[in-house]
A and B are shown apart, each in its own frame.
Chain A
């Protein structure tokens, strides 16, 4: 297993490199530039700006400079300063006066005082928190609903459960979110209509350090709104998979041994039926935790989602590269976790 994970990390580098290449190529191929305004800026100013951000250099040179800044650890004899050009995600002192800086994702064109790393440090944790909560909602609603529907197939429970699932899939956050705000935020005044109840510092740079009611009351609505659609997908998949598994021969074998009906499900059917569910958890997790534009916009959550969309319309090249690479890393890592979970769920799967 160790060798498998190592090999997968090597593949990951290749994937990330290819993703960076395609993204870099595409974003420069799209017409327009970061400093285009409705009222055109004077040519001298644009030339100055492009010079400052190295946009006047040939593309291949820009790309190599980017790779160098992001992927290759930089050794330096000087201590890091608070200079924007100096802002690496990972900085540490090796010995004496030797410093290492790694993963400098560059500045953002839309703000003179912020870097892409600032976005990662301040906005990403919030998106991850929201994503994890949404995934938890999706699983705690989806899996039991799917099991119930499968066990009570073709009864009112099944129809009701699957109606909820269809509702969840077909009502997007852009409808559900404002509806929830109107009902619980404005009319009933149970929950604050917008906002996010945590601030840095975060534990491990991700998790909120204060899990009091003031956090939860802001988190409930967006987490449910975001998680409901995924829970519907999980519910339908769990139902279909469990229905298939309970027709398997080994379930009949279990019954013939006198296993209790509840244990037939929990001990013999469930683990088998969750294998396809785990498969979709990888991409689902990557999509939920890297920031979701509509949910964050609807509930006024200062997460990553906004940067995914605005960076592209603004041609904010470093932010485009940073967010896409982040998504790619999450996707690859989430799929690696899924593959490791496969091996745990199904002993027939061995990787070495």
Chain B
């Protein structure tokens, strides 16, 4: 299928008083129609900044997209006028945010907030929009949705609010849904419900999804392709099966090993990755993961590896072949 969104060499920085933070350092990825892409990484690795840069939702200043392009349906989102990108947001690319408690405006009714994209992008009046909103709320499983249009966000539970958030993002039938850790703030049973809901909606509506998470378990059952991010770089990208079957980057290995396993001994301790995430004040000349890496070689401190294909469609940014422990040729 054709590429719906093609991001290349995207670079975003934050200029703070203490210096320039290199949040995203030249990342590239593409998203096909109907594809689900997972972006995984620890807090502060640049996952959210990457997708927010694509929609230009980075607060500027201090944030600044310094390089790259994001071609969506033949047009570069990063070079559009503010007015053009505004008509993309919420209409063709929409977002679901992490915290359903703070992501709704507390003083506006749910009906008004969910109807807003329809009024903006499709020129509907309040009544038409409310009909569509009711339909959408039914679809995401809000009981008695017609009666709840005039309720305020605080009258909904966290899980229900996230359902409303999903309805709000899908109300204009966007072709891309960006979900920025949509289940992180929810408890586990609600998490599962929300993931099920998104899968269902994807099958019904056929939108492409970019799903950001730090939870490898969530991504496994959902994504077609996974990008692993570390220190502002993509360090491994692969189809989901290939990534879990044969992780090649030491960081990905560390992440997968740190998950509890159903088939392991109950008594064994969970493994962790030693060290701290990198400080992003300088663009490194070495592999950003080198200080924490157990496979580290001389070369890792001299040159920052770029993504290279290790097997079919499986890319990794590491000088070391983690299977053999030897340096790659």
Contacts and interface: CB of A to CB of B under 8 A. Distances in A.
A257 B117 contact: yes
Interface of B: 55, 57, 59, 82, 86-91, 94-95, 97, 99, 102-108, 116-117, 120-121, 152, 154, 168
Contacts of A272: 105-107
30 contacts: A249-B102, A250-B102, A250-B105, A252-B103, A253-B95, A253-B103, A254-B105, A256-B90, A257-B89, A257-B120, A257-B168, A258-B86, A258-B90, A258-B91, A258-B117, A258-B120, A258-B121, A259-B90, A261-B82, A267-B108, A268-B105, A272-B105, A272-B107, A345-B107, A347-B106, A347-B107, A347-B154, A348-B106, A348-B152, A348-B154
B97 A253 contact: yes
Nearest to A255: B57
Contacts of B105: 250, 253-254, 268, 272
Chain A's interface size range is 20 to 34
A256 B87 CA distance: 10
A170 B154 CA distance: 41
A211 B261 CA distance: 81
Contacts of B152: 347-348
A273 to B, nearest CB: 10
A188 to B, nearest CB: 44
B102 A256 contact: no
Interface string A304-328: 0000000000000000000000000
Contacts of A51: none
Interface string A330-352: 00000000000000011110000
B106 A256 contact: no
Given A347-B152, A348-B152, A256 B94 contact: yes
Contact of B55 (A254, A256, A259): A256
Interface of A: 247-250, 252-261, 267-268, 271-272, 345-348
Nearest to B178: A256
A265 to B, nearest CB: 12
Contact of B99 (A249, A257, A345): A249
B248 to A, nearest CB: 35
A271 to B, nearest CB: 5
B88 A258 contact: yes
B63 to A, nearest CB: 12
Contacts of A256: 55, 57, 89-90, 94-95, 97
A222 B106 CA distance: 40
Nearest to A248: B102
Contacts of B120: 257-260
A43 B104 CA distance: 75
Contact of A257 (B82, B94, B102, B106): B94
